[in-house]
Structures are given as C-alpha cells and as structure tokens.
Chain A
C-alpha cells in the first residue's frame, strides 16, 4: 500500500475539515502573469493533507476550470489530455445530468450564467462567522494586491447544526455519514466505509479512485493528463449549488403520508434509507435509534445482504442509490469504481417547521472529489439517481434529488405488505449553477504558476 504524499495534496481531498462555515470565491483571470504570481503565493497558503498539529481557524484551498488552466498558460498539449467532460464543463453536460426545466443551465445564476466563464475557485473554510469574515478580507485583499483576477461572485455556506453538533441539511436529514475511506490516507477508516470485499468485510478504496498518480481499483494509474508535475496529487472537484424546495418537500411528504400505513417520519426515512437522525433503516427498520445514529463506529456499518428485497431500506432509497454496497451482483465490481468523496455544506437560512415558503434561497453546496468525473459523479447522477434500471425500478428516479421530468406516474415504491406507492413526485432540488474543477496538488500549483502558455 502506497502512502499518499500528504503535504502535496490539498487537505479537503483527503479529509473533511469539520469547519462549519465556508465561502466560495469565483474568479476570472484578467492578467495571466499577475494571476500566476498569486497562484504561486497560494501554493504556500493552501491547507494541505499533512496532519495538523493544531486545527486552523480558517484556511483556503483552490481549484481551476479548464478555461482557467488555459487562461493561466497551461500548455495546449496538457489541456488536450484532460478528460472530455472537464473540458466541456458542466453546463454542456446538462442533458446527461438531468439538468432540465428549472435546472437548465440557461437559468443558472452568476457566476455560472450563460456566457460567463469561471476560471478559479477559492474555497475558504473557517470555524465561525468571525473567522470567516476576517480570513475572507485577508484573501480578497491579497488577490487585489496581486491584481490579475476579477472576483465574479461569492457563495457563503454554513452548516446547519443541531444541539448535538450533527450536520443536517435543509430537508431535515443528518448528512455526510457515508464517505469512502481512502487507502493510504492515514485517516482511520470507520466501519462501513470503503468497498465490500469477497468475504463481506470492508476495505479502504484504492487512492487512485480519488487522487491522480496513485493506483486505482484496477491496479493501474487512473488515466490522467500530462505532465505528472501538473496532475499527480490532484483531483477533480464537482461543484453544484443545489437549491432545495423545503416547503414543497414537506408538503409532498405530508400528502403522501396520509395514505401511508406508517407515520410521516417513517415514510421520510424510507425515501432516504436513514431516519432523519441518521439511523440506518437496515439496522433499525421500525424506529430511529439515537445512540446508534450518534455512534460513528456503528452508524455506517451495514450491508444490504440481509435486505435484498428492500423491506427495510427500499431499493430506490437515496443512500442505497448513491452507494449500493453489496446489493449489486459481482461482489462490488459494479460499485467500487463509482464512489465519490463528498464535502458539501448547506447554505441559506432554515425554514421553520410548518412555515410557508418564504422565498429565501436555501439548499446545499454539493462538492464531490473523484479521479474521473464521468465514471463517478456523472455516472451516479445519471445512472443511479435519475435511472432505476440497474436496481430493477425501471423509470423511477430518486425521490429526493431526482429530476422528476418524465411522464407520470413518477413514483417510488416502498416495499411492504402490500407495497406502498408514492406518486406524482416533483423535483425538489434544482441546480442553480455549477462547474467542473481541477484541484491540483501543491506540485500542480507550482506548475500552473510557472506555466506561461
């Protein structure tokens, strides 16, 4: 097992920071020479994956779009080697991703609106609002001093914490429990993370599924652009601003629960595969279990081998679609290469329970990291979330994030005696903008800053 070159990898690729506020700054390159100097400065500033002696109050990480790499002078032979989907950008992939109707890129807001081009993203993570504001001022000042960039837009994110310090998202579910464990990261894996092996045990996933320059699940280096100096220790970042219709989701759930032989909370759990407090249905199908949900050694330690029919966790449930674990045939071979690291954070004010829609913008800043955008993010989105074929649920799309742009009945079936149909599902999550980024290693940042076309 190769250990990762942690000081050369940007930190959030390898571990979540558990810093509850964030700002995403989107930049355009105006003067490549000046901008490159800032990139060189940033190479020494970014949080890396080297173990912390002390958790920082705030810090930055950076990523670039294909247009951004080009604007900064990365040579054409390099750019041509980057994968197609990265070069095309997310907006061009709308049909594949189900970004239709309200999510159509023509409706995306700044800085992802049509015609504009984002070149770079600076992600500031901080321990609280004050730390964020202070650090953001510092960062913006620096960027201005160096010149070279225009700031296009800023997006603020803030975790919704409950009194137990669990992050939940706007629909009310605890989020972020299921994450793949990366081989060689030095982060101790929790039970249930990673791949299921032949014996039914968990093992970490090969680093090359997430970080370029390391062996992947096939035992080879993931296809990557050239040269190594630029790409090794890098990863691809998918950024999506997902606006959530909280009032709509609650209304839909309440209405369906009227006919459901169980209470609303149980139906809510069936849609996702976890009770809202995070208890996995597979481990506790009849009621939530707070002590189980709180226990990181247990709250993700399950497989679907005893729930093949989906009587506990429906086959079309959100977490089962996102990671089928051992419920697809061939011992994980059809699953292990489609995992993603997720580093999202909520944004916007909470909608009080029972309140009407107040018109506020709220939702989830979804970010994922993977070695192949097409095989991991795009695949899960288009084949597991917006399709049901591989799970035997045909046309059915995910009840929480599915596009729900097909002909009626637009249903989800909850197995049982008799089975329950939730129908007339509507889109509850729309994409308000997004893009594909490359998160270089520190070596990559140095390469980019030195490149001059």
Chain B
C-alpha cells in the first residue's frame, strides 16, 4: 500500500473492497471443499442471507495456491484467500453487517487465515480486514449511481411497464386507468 497515492475505492454509491490473507498450510484443501459445498445447490440455499443484506452487487472468493508467473507459475510459501466485492453503504456498515448477521459464515471462510481474530466482536475483525486490504488504484462502474436494490427494483419496474404497454393498446381508457393504478400499486416499493 505504500505505492497507493489516491484512495479510489469509491465510485458513486459503489465501494470496492479487495482482501488477501495467507492461510495455514493444508488449509486450501479444506477451503476449496467448503466453497464447493457453497456452490452446490444445497449450499446455494445459504445465499439467502447475502441476498437479504441487499447491498452487495457482486462478491467473489478465490483460494490461490500458485501465482501466474510467465510460463513458469510461482509456488508460494503459503496459499492465499482472496476476497473481492462491490457493495453499497460505508465500509464500516458492511463489516458490521457481516459480523452481526453471518458470523458463522465469516468464521468458516476466514478461520484458517493467519491472525484472524474471529468475526465478533467487530472492532478486531475490522482491524484485521483493514490490515489485509488492498486499496484499488482504479475503480469503475457502469452505473455508479444505482445501488443494488435500485437495480433489482428497476428490473421489476421495467417488466411491469413492458407488460402493461403490451396490453395497453387493446384497452379502453377506463380499463387502462384501472390497470395503470394496479401496476403502480404492485411496484410502489420499487420507485
């Protein structure tokens, strides 16, 4: 981080977080198995909480045991757990929420990382993430002013408008007004 001259982790309403932590010898096998379970349809049901948290656009984890290095690849002393995400709201709020709402998941993902203090209480957890965080040198978004909930809402609004548009031509004015009001009501939480 000594080379980073400007803080560019924020674009509009989106914040970038990039974290890399060294993990215990052998832990990569365990982590890979855990992630494989999480990818399985059974594990996918656990994504519900992430969705409900509703401020994450995208997130990814990777277990890296070998770095690309030209044609040779590079073996490292340790494997690394890599985490990258795009979210809305402040960094503190993000970590607070993860700590309060999905501590077991946080523990399962990071417990094999050296120095991990656990997800609760949140203060040492935040210090740990900060220590292992890399600040983006350049961050870009195609729609920086739209939060995740707005993107999802917009999808529902577009669908409703399109559906009404298709039916509209064939309706008389009274029926259209009724259908229009019903449409507004059905998507009133998506404005």
Contact = CB atoms under 8 A, between A and B. Distances in A.
B133 interface: no
A309 B189 contact: yes
Contacts of B190: 392
A392 B187 CA distance: 11
A227 B15 CA distance: 35
A394 B123 contact: no
B101 A383 contact: no
Given A390-B55, A390-B89, A418-B184, A315 B189 contact: yes
Nearest to A310: B189
A389 interface: yes
A379 interface: yes
B93 interface: yes
A417 B185 contact: yes
Contacts of A379: 90, 92-93
B107 to A, nearest CB: 15
Nearest to A311: B188
Interface string A399-436: 00000000000010101111101000000000000000
Interface of A is mostly: loop
Interface stretch (A15-23, A52-60, A273-281, A326-334): A326-334
Interface of A: 218-220, 223, 309-310, 315, 329-330, 333-334, 337, 374-375, 379, 382-383, 387, 389-390, 392-395, 411, 413, 415-419, 421
Given A418-B181, A419-B184, A330 B52 contact: yes
Interface in B113-130: 120-123
Interface string B177-191: 000010011001111
A177 to B, nearest CB: 27
Contacts of A411: 191
Contacts of B123: 220, 223
Interface residues of B, number: 31
B147 interface: yes
Interface of B: 13, 52-55, 88-90, 92-93, 96-97, 100-101, 120-123, 145, 147-150, 153, 181, 184-185, 188-191
Contacts of A334: 97, 100-101
Contacts of A393: 189, 191
Contacts, number: 75
23 contacts: A309-B189, A329-B52, A333-B101, A337-B96, A337-B100, A374-B92, A375-B96, A382-B90, A387-B89, A389-B13, A389-B88, A389-B148, A389-B149, A392-B149, A394-B147, A394-B149, A394-B150, A394-B153, A415-B188, A416-B185, A417-B181, A419-B184, A419-B185
A218 B120 contact: yes
A418 B92 contact: no
A332 to B, nearest CB: 10
Contacts of A413: 188, 191
Nearest to A415: B188
A137 B99 CA distance: 51
Given A334-B97, A390-B149, A394-B147, 11 more contacts: A223-B123, A329-B52, A383-B89, A389-B88, A389-B150, A390-B89, A394-B191, A395-B145, A415-B188, A419-B188, A419-B191
A450 B97 CA distance: 41
A422 to B, nearest CB: 12
Contacts of B121: 218-220
Contact of B100 (A330, A395, A417): A330
A166 B80 CA distance: 61
A223 B126 CA distance: 12
A417 B55 CA distance: 29
Nearest to A396: B191
Contacts of B88: 389
B153 A392 contact: yes
A416 B191 CA distance: 13
Nearest to A219: B121
A192 to B, nearest CB: 23
Contacts of A329: 52-53
A392 B54 CA distance: 9
B185 A418 contact: yes
A415 to B, nearest CB: 5
Nearest to B191: A413
